[in-house]
Structure 1
Amino acid sequence: MTPPRLVTVAHGTRTPAGNRVAAELTRAAGAMLSLDAQVSYVELCEPLLADVLAASPGPTVVVPLLLSTGYHVRQDLPRSVAAARSRVVLGPVVLGGPLGPDPLLAAAQVERLREAGARAGQPVTMVAAGSEDATTSADLTVAADLLGAAWGAPVRLATLAGRGSRMLDVVRPGDAVSPYLLAPGFFADRAHSLALHAGAGVVAEPIGPHPLVIELVARRAESLLPLPQAH
């Protein structure tokens, strides 16, 4: 039987550095599991998930590099995987869930806050891209609670779009701001600018290719193995 491969799927951005984060996470997680690994994207960057699945058919685990449930997780990705399953392939294609919320992401955020100079006990606002999807809002609430537990102090939540409160209404002067964002790009730039405008004392970097995130991607892929036998 053809060995399984890992395919990750990130949102995609017009910022090359953001797309490189997804590629680095994929390479490192694949190496950790001794699996061939290929990055793909939902939009704004190639290769797209559907093209990756079509180009090299075979037993595949698909791990979204997305931090919350939402439209892409519930609609776009299942459609792409269903299309792949409808073709003659060498093995099954199994789709995992989003990376977050998860304690490993919260722990990585804490390290980014410390790297940026945040002090123990300093008030924190976590900022996420946001969505109109109610499932995203529920996930973000859990993610903020996990960050608060890891940081040791309450964490307020703000979003840049969709449901939720906006940064200028949430961030207080002197806050540390933790972007709940995986990579550089439009939302990270917007979060940084608004945080400074609101008087934040510290703005952490996006979570990025942190070792804990690599571990999380590998765990999610491993949880999908062994793949069911194709019929």
Structure 2
Amino acid sequence: MTGLVVVAHGTRRLLGNAVASIIAKQAGRRLRMESRAAYVELCEPLFADVVAATRQPTLVVPLLLSTGYHVRVDLPAAVAAAAAPVTLGAPLGPDPMLASAQVSRLVAAGASPGRPVVLVAAGSNDPAARADIEAAGTLLADAWGGPVRVATVSGSGAPALDQVVRPGDAVSPYLLAPGFFSEAVRTRSAAAGADVVADVIGPHPDVVELVVRRASTLLASTTGHRSHAG
């Protein structure tokens, strides 16, 4: 029996870590497979420990919104040390379904479609991550039907949110779970004059659907490989 692990970054906030657990539970129910959440750091169970202990074929869907050190180094290293077959997927974002979830959060927060939006990501010094964040901004603009500018809380490459957010803007956090970064986005955006700050993406139905699709693709690839090998 193949299992599913969704792996999030992890935070010291219980509410933030609960997002991954909810997504794991709902995706596992949809896929009719055993599922659980794991974390790169700051919260248990740690992903490295989970894959080291697994004794069944496992699909891994990272709940990470862009490429970065964890995607390129930490996760592959943990998978390489696993005793059972573990198939690692790509980061969750950027993806049109995440943009769709962001639109839903913006509307729920009171933003009118088409008004200027600033997508705010956590930020990274990794050039690949910065490219992913820019791509996420383009996808959100397409889904929103209005102008979207991109900013970050930290990191290099994209400008800081304080330099981008203007009075009257709506802000869409490109963050999966509440925590340190989401609090920084809300506080600093309000200080910059934003009228609306949407909620984090969270366990939105579009996110669960995206995880189900990613896991199904991974399962099909492993099944096809085994059939070909046989």
If the length of structure 1 is used for normalisation, what is the TM-score?
Answer: 0.95
Give yes or no for the alignment of 1:202 onto 2:200: no
Matched, 1:177 2:171: yes
Paired amino acid for 1:128: A
* Maintained 8 Å contact 2:123/2:153: yes
Q: Which runs of 5+ in 2 are unaligned?
A: none
SS of residue in 2 equivalent to 1:77: helix
- Mapped to 1, the partners of 2:70 and 2:147 lie a distance apart of 30
Whichever residue aligns with residue 32 of structure 1, its letter is R
Q: Give structure 1 regions of 4+ aligned residues with deviation exceeding 4 angstroms.
A: none
What's the CA shift string for 1:17-71, capped at 9, x where partnerless?
A: 0000000001101111101001100000000111111223210111100000111
Q: Deviations along 1:134-162, whole A, 9 cap, x unmatched?
A: 00000011100000011001100000111
Aligned residue number for residue 137 of structure 1: 130
Q: Confirm or deny that 1:110 pairs with 2:103.
A: yes
In 2: Cα distance, 1:32 partner to 1:43 partner: 27
- Count how many residue pairs are aligned between Structure 1 and Structure 2: 224
Q: Which amino acid aligns with 2:192?
A: A
How many Å separate the matches in 1 of 2:196 and 2:41? 31
Q: Is the 8 A contact 2:64 2:93 kept in 1?
A: yes
> Within 5 Å, which residues of 2 pair with 1:139-158?
139-158=132-151
Tell me the residue number matched to 1:71: 69
Instruction: Decide which structure has greater helix share.
Output: 2
Taking only the aligned residue pairs, the percentage that are identical comes to 59
Partner SS state of residue 100, structure 2: helix
1:96-149 Cα shifts (integer Å, max 9, x gaps): 000001000000000000000001221100000010000000001110000001
Shift of 1:201: 0.3
TM-score normalized by the length of structure 2: 0.95
Partner of 1:8: 6
- Secondary structure of the 1:127 match is strand
Once residues 18 and 54 of structure 2 are traced to their aligned partners in structure 1, the CA distance between those partners, rounded to angstroms, is 22
Superposed CA RMSD in Å reads 1.2
Q: Match of 2:217?
A: 223
The one-letter code matched in structure 2 to 1:12 is G
Q: Which digits, 9 at most, give the CA deviation of each residue in 1:163-193, with x for residues without a partner?
A: 2100110001000000000010000000000
In 2, Cα distance between equivalents of 1:57 and 1:165 = 45
Structure 1 unaligned segments of length 5 or more: list them. none
CA distance in 1, matches of 2:103, 2:197: 12
Range with bigger deviation, 55-64 or 40-49:
55-64
What amino acid sits opposite 1:8 in the alignment? V
Q: How does 1:27-176 map to 2 (within 5 A)?
A: 27-84=25-82, 87=83, 89=84, 92-163=85-156, 164-176=158-170
Read off the aligned partner of 1:27 and give its amino acid letter. K
